[in-house]
Chain A
């Protein structure tokens, strides 16, 4: 789960990391009032959870009230990478001489947290990492002990941070690491950490992504979660408890188990179709879950056909088939072709139970996917 910049800054400031004075605004008038109170120049920043806001026109400086009004008017309501902007952060514009990068994340390959520092702040750090990996100093942390003070000093030194601010940068990194640990961070980043001409450091941006699996013990952060997806179907999937990703193709996909559903997507592509979604209904296939899943894919106007692929492991195929039949009973009509493939325990018995007046049954995954791709093409034509 991602926090908005203003939320992350609140969390950072509470922990003692310096952030610019700022006010959240939801209307143009609120934004102008906030700017007047802060004093100019101010930065007006769209609060959407996507990277590259600056380049996309979501961040702009304003030198007086007229500019503040014009910028707020343009940014509020704009569409930024598919998200509509409904609030802006109005912030004291920091006069900086340098932009640094400080971050903490989990290095999955090593199984340990890693702290990162670079003098190349203010730009896309992933690009820096790809093109000039040596420009980012890294220090792995032993989770049994946490980050020692010397480690913060060492990684700051190795990054080549100016001596005049090295102590303050190390202190920000130490605080960020503790915050990341206590609040179950997945990624915590300050990019840029601005250095002013009198050698103060200020977190001009803030990223804090929380480990979804740890939200149960971070109730106040969990409360900040909101329906930002903008996509109704993704919101619906969240409500139903499905793992769901909406794509743009013409073949709807429902299955059980992440790897098998991904493979079904790949096969749709392999046979010339385009996947409309990833939908994992999880273990078993009770009638109501199957009905919910079908309802979602039926509601996706891009999907012209559906392939339903269930591998019954512990759950028996005949039980799955009964669930599918009951689910189909909940629809007055089946609006698009549905191809079902059952495998595993009692799959044969399951296939005999399925109502072939309403769904097409195929024995192999390959045949089921091909049938759905062909059916979807027929609708296209």
Chain B
């Protein structure tokens, strides 16, 4: 068991003919992901890495029974690609694209309310269920199948923690990169809910960072609804207010909201042990699983 994606997921890659799309399609196939189609306007009938390309996402759904999409479309066209995926009715859309204008994402988010599709991202490394499927750009070789669920706003920080988990023999059920943008389709609370319902997940790592109030909301949700134990990490303790730390969403506002301390306090008061270092988080996970 796992969440969001597994060996049965039938994946369509939007933007498969671009450099990133092509490269990561090869990587996803090499990992064993069931990539059944690509979708690029005007490129129907071609093949990329042996995968048939369709002009529309609907075509890929109709002809290849695609039920999950991963999006490598450039920012100016990404929102349109996401609308198309929602319209085609896939179950899961993973938006890798970084730099989508916030007002575009806001409209996508609005459309999402009208559908049953789950959007992950944008500006995220993707989703991986080790040994079964990966949708996105995560390096598959550092993951190991197991019972730890992972939710993170960041890419390489996720890899850092996964690498430590794996080297300590703590495999992962599914890892979800939820993305570093201010507006994202799946937030910590949504992802926690998915793991809570997954019998294969025995503990969850929540890897947050400065900006917004999503970690605080997650802490309240954990306190009220979660049986599965959670360990936390928050990046950006030393970030100065008003400076965007790489991610569009990672900024402590002038009025002092979105600080690391506020998030750490909220998580700790919900009973979530928060590591001072990535290694400490892994220690906490090991303790939770004992």
With A243-B246, A313-B137 already in contact, the answer to whether A259 and B155 are too (CB < 8 A) is yes
Contact of A365 with B101 in the complex, beta carbons under 8 Å: no
Cα distance A34–B203 in the bound complex, in angstroms? 68
Contact of A314 with B139 in the complex, beta carbons under 8 Å: yes
A106 within 8 A of B: yes
B110 within 8 A of A: yes
Contact of B75 with A126 in the complex, beta carbons under 8 Å: no
Q: Chain A 258-297, CB within 8 Å of chain B: the 1/0 string?
A: 1111110111111000010010100000000000000000
With A106-B106, A127-B255 already in contact, the answer to whether A262 and B210 are too (CB < 8 A) is yes
Contact of B247 with A258 in the complex, beta carbons under 8 Å: yes
A167 within 8 A of B: no
Q: Chain B residues near A366 (CB, 8 Å)?
A: 277, 279
Point out the residue from B139, B154, B253 that lies within 8 Å of A258, measured CB to CB.
B154
Of chain B, the residue at the smallest CB distance from A346 is B141
A356 within 8 A of B: no
Of chain A, the residue at the smallest CB distance from B256 is A130
How many B residues face the partner with a CB closer than 8 A? 65
A186 within 8 A of B: yes
How many A residues face the partner with a CB closer than 8 A? 54
Cα distance A108–B250 in the bound complex, in angstroms? 12
Contact of A213 with B180 in the complex, beta carbons under 8 Å: no
Q: Chain B residues near A143 (CB, 8 Å)?
A: 103, 106-107, 110
A333 within 8 A of B: no
Contact of B154 with A259 in the complex, beta carbons under 8 Å: yes
Cα distance A142–B217 in the bound complex, in angstroms? 22
A77 within 8 A of B: no
Point out the residue from B157, B158, B254 that lies within 8 Å of A126, measured CB to CB.
B254
Q: Chain B 191-218, CB within 8 Å of chain A: the 1/0 string?
A: 0000000000000000101101110010
Contact of A262 with B239 in the complex, beta carbons under 8 Å: yes
Contact of A112 with B106 in the complex, beta carbons under 8 Å: yes
B237 within 8 A of A: yes
A58 within 8 A of B: no
Contact of B245 with A262 in the complex, beta carbons under 8 Å: yes
Contact of A262 with B214 in the complex, beta carbons under 8 Å: no
Q: Chain B residues near A259 (CB, 8 Å)?
A: 152-158, 180, 207, 209, 235, 246-247, 250
Q: Chain B 223-263, CB within 8 Å of chain A: the 1/0 string?
A: 00000000001011111100111111110011110001000
Contact of B106 with A184 in the complex, beta carbons under 8 Å: no
Point out the residue from A106, A129, A247, A260 that lies within 8 Å of B156, measured CB to CB.
A260
Q: Chain A 126-163, CB within 8 Å of chain B: the 1/0 string?
A: 11011000000000001110000000000000000000
Q: Residues of A at under 8 Å CB distance from B?
A: 51, 106, 108-109, 111-113, 126-127, 129-130, 142-144, 181, 184, 186, 211-214, 216-217, 243, 245, 247, 255-263, 265-270, 275, 278, 280, 311-314, 343-345, 364-366
Q: Residues of B at under 8 Å CB distance from A?
A: 23-24, 27, 75-76, 99-103, 105-107, 109-111, 137-139, 141-142, 152-160, 163, 180, 182-183, 207, 209-210, 212-214, 217, 233, 235-240, 243-250, 253-256, 260, 276-279
Q: List 25 A-B contacts (CB under 8 A).
A: A109-B214, A130-B255, A130-B256, A143-B103, A144-B110, A211-B102, A213-B248, A214-B101, A214-B102, A216-B76, A257-B154, A257-B155, A258-B180, A258-B246, A262-B236, A263-B235, A265-B238, A265-B239, A266-B260, A278-B239, A313-B159, A343-B160, A344-B163, A345-B139, A366-B277
